[in-house]
Amino acid sequence: MLPEEQLQRLYVAGFDLQTFDRFPKAIGVLRDNCIAFLVPGPDGLQILGNVGWRMGESLGPLVEREGRKVFVHKQETLEATPERVATLERFRHDLKTVLRGEEIKTDTYPSSA
C-alpha cells in the first residue's frame, strides 16, 4: 500500500497526524495521548522504534522500573495505570491493523460518543 493511502486510512480511522521538528523524517501518529512515529519502508509506512505515551513533544516508552510499569522520557516519569496500558495496547493494535490495510473492528475501540 502506498504511504499516502496509509496516511489517509489512518486519518479516517481517527488518528491525528503531526510533524515534529525533532523527527524531520518521520510523521507522528497520535490518538488518546499515545504516539508513534512512522517512516517510509519498502512496503509502505512502518513504525519507527516503539509506540508510547506522548510526553511533551516526544514519546515515552513503556518500561518497568523498580517493579512497576511506567512511561519514561528523559527525567520525566508517568505511572502506567492499567487504563493507560490498555489504551496503548489498543493504539498499537489499531495502528498496525490500519498499516496492513485492514479495517479496525469497532468493538476493539469504543467510540467516545
Indicate whether this model's pTM tops 0.85: yes
The predicted model gives 2-30 an average pLDDT of 93
Q: Which residue has the cell 522520557?
A: 73
For the chain, list the domains and their CATH numbers: 3-101 (3.30.457)
For the chain, give the mean pLDDT. 90
Q: Cα(26)–Cα(9) distance, rounded to whole angstroms?
A: 17
The whole-number pLDDT of residue 1 equals 81
Q: What is the DSSP string of 30-66?
A: EETTEEEEEEEETTEEEEEEEEEEEETTEEE-EEEET
CA distances from residue 103 to 37, 93, 94 in whole angstroms, order as listed: 20, 11, 9
Of 15, 102, 1, 84, nearest in space to 46 by CA: 1
The whole-number pLDDT of residue 12 equals 94
The whole-number pLDDT of residue 85 equals 96
Residue 112: is its pLDDT beyond 50?
no
Task: Give residue-wise pLDDT tens across range 29-61.
Answer: 999 999 999 999 998 999 999 999 999 888 999
